[in-house]
């Protein structure tokens, strides 16, 4: 009798029309440095959770729910690969996304290339990801160091400063950022010279030694690419020694809320920075995102939250355009993909190098009501500062 009931149920399910059977979810594997960089990745996760749930509430993509399976890479390339293998082989995800540290992002991109699986890198900034180490399976959302430093260099070229120093973490991102900034500023201002470069290890800066070495070179201006706890230590030591007084400072990412908040009232006013002035952006798209995010999480968004949100919108748009999660179809769909509505406005993905045209907010730092804010800011569209075609052709594998 029991066997007969089971057989009847199976027959009923098999005979049911397609619309009566629940479609399996689209499974997306996310690998990010959740434990190594909690300040940056907490908001990132909340951002993609919000976008995922909004998409699913509207019926999902292709009539299927989006499911994101998150794994922690601990900030280590070897751990990232271990997690990616498990996601692909055990969890059977349809595609991969994530990454925040540049050397981890490069490892994931190489894995995607070897395994021939679609990978949308959400946050790694290194130019190599889409140039020297670029591959057909890897796309990138955030503006590269090439784009961000080109925007900063354009403004730096207007400054009277001729003698420049650089301070950046000694790993892929920092090296890439300094190289790109130097190249672009020198192109725009052949009269400038770089008189000192400091390369503190990531997460282990000796702020006193770094500041003293910079000061001894007597630069007119400084390009900084430190972030997180290293940035706090650097600013605190520099403030104690008045190291940046009388010097222009151009600083990558320092206007992002997750890096401004720990500085509290020690924020160095006047620095030219890229960041995210979440509380003074007035557009319908951003207002909707801000309202939904704050209602759900009871806190303001970080740049990570914004990226996590837009990254998920981009994945949904690519899958919808492809009409499937098959890798080759996703690649074709993402090359030239345009997303009209995001919190920052329209963005697109270039077929040439798989880089998105997401831009940056550029402005100055100021102290307001005991916290750091960006003032005199503007949004700079990334499409106007992409690597030129000839640069891509020369540096990206064919």
Instruction: Encode pLDDT of 251-287 as tens digits.
Output: 999 999 999 999 999 999 999 999 999 999 999 999 9
Give Cα separations from 128 to 80, 110, 240, 246, 285 (angstroms).
18, 11, 37, 35, 32
Using a 10 angstrom Cβ sphere, with 0-12 exposed, 13-18 middle and 19 or more buried, the burial of residue 131 is buried
How confident is the model at residue 376, as a pLDDT? 97
Position 1 confidence tier, pLDDT thresholds 50, 70, 90: very low
How confident is the model at residue 40, as a pLDDT? 85
Position 10 confidence tier, pLDDT thresholds 50, 70, 90: very low
How confident is the model at residue 398, as a pLDDT? 78
Arithmetic mean of pLDDT, 369-377: 94
Torsion of CA 355, 179, 205, 236, to 10 degrees: -90
How confident is the model at residue 22, as a pLDDT? 75
Mark residue 110 as left, alpha or beta (left: phi above 0; alpha: psi -120 to 50; beta: remaining).
alpha
Arithmetic mean of pLDDT, 157-181: 97
Q: What is the pLDDT of residues 26-49, one digit of tens each?
A: 999 999 999 999 988 999 999 999
Top mean-pLDDT range of 11-15, 257-261, 360-364:
360-364
Residue 8 has pLDDT above 90, yes or no: no
Q: How many Cα neighbours within 13 Å face the side chain of 11?
A: 6
CATH number of 23-143+282-358: 3.40.50.2300
Three-state SS at 354: coil
Residue 66 has pLDDT above 50, yes or no: yes
Using a 10 angstrom Cβ sphere, with 0-12 exposed, 13-18 middle and 19 or more buried, the burial of residue 25 is middle
- Indicate where the chain has its CATH 3.40.50.2300 domain(s): 23-143+282-358, 146-279+361-385
How confident is the model at residue 21, as a pLDDT? 59
Residue 123 has pLDDT above 90, yes or no: yes
Residue 59 has pLDDT above 60, yes or no: yes
How confident is the model at residue 9, as a pLDDT? 41
Residue percentage of the chain with pLDDT more than 90? 93
C-alpha 301/C-alpha 46 separation (Å) is: 9
Residue 335 has pLDDT above 70, yes or no: yes
How confident is the model at residue 271, as a pLDDT? 98
Q: State whether CATH 3.40.50.2300 applies to domain 146-279+361-385.
A: yes
C-alpha 349/C-alpha 347 separation (Å) is: 7
Which candidate, 326, 165, 296, 297, places its Cα nearest to that of 234? Answer: 165
Arithmetic mean of pLDDT, 310-333: 98
Residue 12 has pLDDT above 70, yes or no: no
């Amino acid at each position: 009798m029991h066997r007969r009931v089971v057989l009847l149920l199976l027959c009923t399910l098999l005979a049911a029309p397609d619309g009566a059977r629940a479609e399996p979810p689209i499974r997306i594997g996310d690998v990010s440095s959740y434990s190594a960089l909690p300040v940056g990745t907490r908001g990132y996760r909340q951002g993609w959770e919000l976008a995922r749930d909004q998409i699913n509430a509207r019926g999902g993509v292709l009539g299927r729910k989006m499911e994101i399976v998150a794994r922690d890479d601990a900030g280590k390339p070897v751990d990232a690969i271990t997690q990616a293998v498990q996601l692909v082989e055990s969890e059977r995800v349809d595609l991969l996304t994530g990454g925040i540290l540049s050397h981890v992002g490069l490892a994931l991109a190489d894995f995607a290339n070897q395994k021939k699986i679609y990978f949308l890198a959400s946050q790694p900034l290194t130019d190599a990801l889409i140039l020297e180490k670029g591959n057909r399976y890897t796309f990138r959302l955030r503006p590269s160091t090439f784009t961000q430093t080109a925007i900063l260099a354009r403004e730096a070229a207007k400054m009277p400063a001729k003698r420049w120093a650089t301070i950046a973490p000694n790993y892929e991102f920092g090296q890439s950022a300094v190289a790109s900034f130097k190249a672009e500023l020198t192109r725009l201002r052949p009269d400038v010279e770089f008189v000192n470069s400091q390369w503190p290890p990531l997460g282990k800066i000796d702020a006193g030694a770094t500041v003293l070495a910079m000061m001894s070179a007597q630069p007119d201006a400084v390009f900084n690419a430190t972030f997180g706890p290293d940035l706090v230590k650097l600013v605190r030591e520099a403030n104690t020694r008045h190291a940046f007084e009388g010097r222009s400072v151009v600083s990558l990412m320092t206007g992002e809320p997750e890096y401004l908040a720990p500085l509290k009232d020690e924020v160095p006013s006047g620095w030219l920075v890229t960041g995210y002035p979440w509380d003074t952006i007035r557009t319908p798209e951003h207002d909707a995102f801000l309202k939904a995010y704050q209602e759900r999480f009871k806190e303001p968004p970080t740049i990570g939250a914004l990226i996590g949100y837009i990254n998920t919108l981009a994945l949904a748009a690519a899958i919808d355009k492809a009409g499937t999660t098959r890798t080759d179809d996703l690649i074709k769909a993402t090359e030239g993909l345009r997303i009209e509505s995001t919190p920052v406005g329209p963005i697109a993905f270039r077929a040439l190098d798989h880089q998105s045209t997401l831009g940056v907010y550029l402005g100055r730092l100021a102290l307001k009501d005991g916290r750091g804010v960006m003032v005199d800011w503007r949004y700079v569209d990334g499409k106007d500062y992409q690597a030129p075609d000839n640069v891509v052709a020369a540096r990206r594998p064919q």
